[in-house]
Amino acid sequence: MATPNFYSRTESLLAQLTRDGLYKHLQMLEGPMDATVRLRGADGAVREVVCFCSNNYAGLANHPEVVEAGLKGLRDFGAGTASVRFICGTFSPHETLERAIARYMGTEAAYTFVSCWNANEAVFPTLCEPGDIVISDELNHASIIDAVRLATVIKKGLHKSIYRNNRLTGEDSLEQRLAEAAASKDVTGQIWVVTDGVFSMEGSIGDLKTMRGLCDRYGAMLVVDDSHGHGVMGRTGRGTHEHFGMIDPLDSAPTRANRVDLFTGTLGKALGGAAGGFVAGRKEAVELIVQRGRPTLFSNALPVSVACGATKAIEILLNEPQRVQRLRDNVAYARERLKAAGFDVLPSPTAICPIIVHDTAKAIAMSRRLLELGVFVIGFGYPVVPEGHARLRCQVSAAHTRQHVDALVDALKRL
C-alpha cells in the first residue's frame, strides 16, 4: 500500500473540518483595534462592528501616545534589530522597557522576548533540571503545557504532574501532587508549581495566596503566567498578585517573602497589545535565562518600535488607574446585564465572560449570527477548550462604553 501523501491527507482533514462546521475563517480588519473595528466581510464589504473578542482590556492598542511612541522608536532606532540580544541586538529601549516591567510587576528584574510563548519556552527548559518536578494546572495555557513538555525532553529526568483546574486541596489537587512529589524518591531536586493567573477560557483566577502557602510548605517555586491579569487585576491593574495583596507599593524595594517567584506575561494583550512577552522575578533567575535560555540565545530581540510602544502603554496604565476602574465598571455592568438577560455567566473579577453553549459547531454558528447583528464575538471549541465545553467568549475593555455593552447584550438576546 502506498504511504498516504501529505497533501491528500491534509486536503481530507481540511474537508472534514468544513463538514463538521469547525473550519475557522480568519476575519480581516481594515483598521486599528479598538472598541469598534472595521471588518471586511466575505462579500468584500467593510463594516464597523463592536468588538468583544480582543485582549485590548486597557484600551491602549490604538492609544495615540502609544502609537506615537512606537513611531518615535521607529524613527530613532530604525525598523529592525537584525540581531539576537547577546550579539548586538540589545538597544537602550529594551533596557528602558525591562526596567518599566520590573517596576510595574514589583520584581527585581525583567527580560523580554518576542512573545510570551517564547518566555514560557525559555523558563522551564532553562531553569528546570533533571530530578526536578513541574506541577501544572490542567487548564494552563498551551504555551505552558508545551514549554513543560519541551523541558522534559531537553532535561531528561525532569518530572511533571498535573492537578485539576484550581483544585488546591483534596483528590487530584495541587496539595496531593506536592505531597506525592515530596514522597517520591525520583524527585531529588526543586519542585516547581505553575499556574495561569487568570484562566483564559474560564475567566477564573488562580488563588495565588493559598498556592503560596502550599508552595512554602514544600519548598516549591511558584511560577505565574499572568497574561490575562496584567492591566486587569488588582486595584491599579498590576496583576493577580496585586489582587491578592502579594505586591509591594510602586517604587519600594521588592520584598522576597510571600511573593510569586517568577512571572511570565505578554505585551500582546492589555499592555499595548502589539507583541512581546517577558519574565519577571529575582535577578538570579532572570540572569540564568539571559545566559542560557534558547529563545534568548537563538531568536531575535523585540522590535524597538514595539518596545517603545509597550513602555508607553505601561506608563499610561500606571498613571491612569481610572482606566482599570472603567474596565471594572464595564465588566460589572456587562455581567449584570447578561445575567438579567438569562445567560449563565460566572461571577469573576476578570474581563472574560464565557457563555457556555457546549457544541463547537453551535458556538461558531452563533458567533457568525452575532456578526450579522454588528457584534464581533468569537466562538471557541475543541481543541482550544475540551470537547463539549464550547463557548462564546466575551471580553470587555476599558475602551467600551455602556452603549457598546448594551449592543452586545441586545444582539445576544436576539439569537
Ligand X SMILES: *Cc1c(COP(=O)(O)O)cnc(C)c1O
According to DSSP, the residues that pair with 160 across neighbouring strands are 134
List phi, psi (to 5°) of 168.
-95, -25
196: contact with ligand X by CB under 6 A: yes
Tell me the closest approach of the beta carbon of residue 199 to ligand X, in angstroms: 8
Instruction: Determine which helix (DSSP H) or strand (DSSP E) holds 28, and give its type and residue range.
Output: strand 28-29
Smallest gap, in angstroms, from Cβ of residue 332 to ligand X? 22
| CA pair distance 173, 142, nearest whole angstrom | 20
Answer for which of 166, 195, 227, 395 binds ligand X (CB under 6 A) is 227
C-beta of 132 vs 137, nearer to ligand X = 137
Length in residues, the chain: 415
Single out the segment in contact with ligand X by CB under 6 A; choices: 110-118, 300-308, 317-325, 345-353.
110-118
Cβ-based nearer residue to ligand X, 293 or 407 = 293
Nearer to ligand X, 128 or 181 (CB): 128
State how beta strands 159-163 and 36-40 pair.
Answer: unpaired
Q: How far is the CB of 350 from ligand X (least distance, A)?
A: 11
Nearest to 354 by CA among 390, 320, 328: 390
Q: Catalytic amino acids?
A: 200, 228, 269
Q: Cβ closer to ligand X: 269 or 337?
A: 269
Q: Does 116 bind ligand X (CB under 6 A)?
A: yes
Strand partners, 293: none
- Give the CA distances from residue 304 to residues 74, 97, 291, 317, 347, in Å, rounded to whole numbers and listed in that order: 7, 10, 21, 20, 39
Backbone angles phi, psi at 128, to 5 degrees: -85, 150
By CB atoms closer than 10 A (0-12, 13-18, 19+), residue 249 is exposed
Q: Residues 106, 268, 273, 281: which binds ligand X (CB under 6 A)? A: 268
In whole angstroms, the minimum distance from the beta carbon of 412 to ligand X comes to 24
Q: How far is the CB of 163 from ligand X (least distance, A)?
A: 17
Q: Which of 323, 307, 274 is nearest to 101 (CA)?
A: 307
- Residue from 132, 225, 242, 261 touching ligand X (CB under 6 A): that is 225
* 266 makes contact with ligand X (CB under 6 A): yes
Does 309 contact ligand X by CB under 6 A? Answer: no
Kindly determine how many residues on this chain lie close enough to bind ligand X according to the rule CB under 6 A. Answer: 13
Least separation, in Å, of the C-beta of 42 and ligand X? 27
Those residues whose C-beta lies under 8 Å from the C-beta of residue 236, and which sit 6 or more positions away, are 242, 250, 317, 318, 321, 324
For ligand X, give the closer residue by CB, 107 or 140: 140
Taken in order 239, 244, 246, 250, the sign of the CA dihedral is positive
Q: Given the complex with ligand X, which of 261 and 412 has the nearer CB atom?
A: 261
When asked if residue 277 is in the footprint of ligand X (CB under 6 A), the reply is yes
* Distance in Å, CB of 156 to ligand X, minimum: 26
Which one of residues 52, 111, 117, 380 is an interface residue with ligand X (CB under 6 A)? 117
Based on the number of CB atoms within 10 Å of its own CB, is 167 exposed (0-12), middle (13-18) or buried (19 or more)?
Answer: middle
228 lies in the binding site for ligand X (CB under 6 A): yes
The CA distances from residue 7 to 24, 86, 229, in Å, are 19, 40, 41
Q: 115 or 161: whose CB is closer to ligand X?
A: 115
Decide: is 296 part of the binding site for ligand X (CB under 6 A): no
Residues that bind ligand X (CB under 6 A): 115-117, 141, 143, 196, 200, 225, 227-228, 266, 268, 277
